[in-house]
């Protein structure tokens, strides 16, 4: 094989190798609640993470994470939402996704959604002791999808687009620096900039609703996943060596 072909071949293979090794660095944590009823199991992903419920009645039932308390005490401070978190408060840029469903609608304002960049959230320390973003759905006819920042300040809202009870929705938030993109069932709903909270864990939660959550994933650079595709990268390294041995340049 002449030197020019050799150079091009090595260039292509190096690009593929670099791409796959970059993927390895971006870990993915997957939680499907496929376990017996009761307290959710710890998640092992580099570190061991446990769910931290803040308000509400939380348990795993029928392989879903369920919040059953529809009562509420506030609409304007850190005690507003029944919520539960998991992960590392030092996570910065990532994608979080979960399947959400209203199982029981309260009389006032049935709401549910996902939380991200959660840091230092503890309503027991005071009504203002919370830092998070919340992408939520709302069952009220005149309301709709909404992105808020703690405790309950609207960043962006779509009016007259209510969600339906007993219906699954896949919510996703992609955060990178100050960029926040929110999706419903794969369709972009919001694309905004906000730098209030640069890092934090993830979670799910409700207001005036009983709800179930499933198939939660978090993926991004610096996250040690429980489903990172290390095997692909390892095989590529082995195959790269075999390719080198198989040709006499």
What are the structural domains, with CATH classification, of the chain? 27-225 (2.60.120.560)
Q: What is the Cα–Cα distance from 213 to 81, expressed in whole angstroms?
A: 15
The conformation of residue 125, written as its DSSP 8-state character, comes to G
Distances 14 to 2, 17, 119, 129 between C-alpha atoms, Å = 18, 5, 39, 49
DSSP 33-58: --S-SBSPPPEEESEEE--EEESS-E
pLDDT in tens, 77-134: 999 999 999 999 999 999 999 999 999 999 999 999 999 999 999 888 877 789 999 9
Question: Quick one: angle between helices 230-246 and 3-25, nearest 10?
Answer: 170
Q: What is the Cα–Cα distance from 141 to 164, expressed in whole angstroms?
A: 10
Backbone torsions φ then ψ of 141, nearest 5 degrees: -60, -35
Q: What is the mean pLDDT of residues 192-218?
A: 97
pLDDT in tens, 140-175: 999 999 999 999 999 999 999 999 999 999 999 999
User: The tokens of 119 are what?
Assistant: 């840091």
């Amino acid at each position: 094989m002449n030197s020019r072909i050799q150079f091009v071949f090595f260039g292509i293979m190096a690009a593929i190798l670099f791409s796959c090794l970059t993927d390895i660095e971006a870990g993915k944590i997957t939680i499907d609640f496929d376990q017996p009823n009761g307290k959710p199991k710890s998640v092992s992903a580099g570190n061991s993470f446990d769910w931290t419920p803040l308000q509400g009645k939380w348990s795993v039932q029928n392989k879903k994470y369920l919040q059953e308390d529809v009562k509420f005490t506030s609409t304007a401070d850190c005690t507003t939402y029944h919520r539960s978190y998991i992960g590392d408060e030092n996570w910065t840029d990532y994608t979080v996704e979960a399947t959400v469903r209203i199982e029981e609608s309260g009389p006032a304002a049935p709401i549910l959604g996902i939380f991200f960049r959660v840091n230092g959230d503890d309503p027991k320390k005071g009504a203002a002791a919370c830092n998070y973003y919340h992408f939520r759905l709302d069952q009220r006819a005149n309301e709709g999808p909404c992105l808020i920042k703690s405790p309950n300040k609207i960043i962006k809202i779509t009016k007259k687009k209510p969600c339906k009870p007993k219906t699954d929705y896949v919510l996703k938030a992609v955060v990178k620096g100050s960029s926040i993109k929110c999706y419903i069932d794969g369709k972009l709903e919001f694309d905004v900039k906000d730098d209030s909270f640069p890092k934090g864990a993830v979670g799910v939660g409700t207001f005036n609703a009983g709800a179930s959550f499933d198939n939660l994933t978090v993926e991004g650079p610096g996250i040690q996943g429980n489903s990172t595709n290390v095997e692909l990268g390892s095989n590529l390294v082995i195959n790269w060596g075999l390719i080198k041995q198989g040709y006499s340049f």
